[in-house]
Amino acid sequence: MVIPLETQLDMTGRVVVAALLSMLVGIERERSGHAAGLRTHMLVGTGAALFTALSVLAFPEGDPARIAAQVVSGIGFIGAGTILRRRDGGKMHGLTTAASIWVTAAIGMACGSGAFVLAAITALLVVFTLSVMAWAGKRLTQQPAKVSKSTVTREKET
């Protein structure tokens, strides 16, 4: 089966939009100094878009939900690799990065299925969550500054 050129161009547009929206998430992760940054997020979103577009267009008799399920579980596996726990039982690291990879795949899948508005709004919400809400979360969990009591002494006027 050969996919018509017009259909391939449509699929290419979906993949390009997915790459651009995934880039927004990747830029935020890159600026924050996380290992999974710009390239990782772009590749995840682009791949998810391509798999989704192919599942819908190249296999019309098949069940596109099967490919989507495999994308989700595969990305879950990749995301799990970003989660680390300190040996001393301390804090876990990488949960937000794993979640950003997961949602970037969803953005790619939305683009691959042609849901561009949904994908764009989701990408903006993700960037907002990763940047603005990270800042707000830090402010909410900070300990209040300690106010020291200082005594003021006045000299007696004579």
Distance between CA atoms of residues 11 and 19, nearest Å: 12
Model's pTM, two decimal places? 0.80
Tokens of 4: 């018509």
Q: Kindly give, in sequence order, each residue whose CB lies less than 8 Å from that of residue 92, ignoring residues fewer than 6 positions away.
A: 83, 84, 85, 86
How far is C-alpha 15 from the geometric centre of its chain's CA atoms? 17
85-131: per-residue pLDDT in tens? 677 777 778 888 889 999 999 999 999 999 999 999 999 999 999 98
Q: Residue 75 pLDDT > 60, yes or no?
A: yes
Q: Residue 60 pLDDT > 60, yes or no?
A: yes
Distance between CA atoms of residues 65 and 74, nearest Å: 14
Q: What angle do CA 110, 62, 68 make, to 5 degrees?
A: 30
Tokens of 158: 């004579």
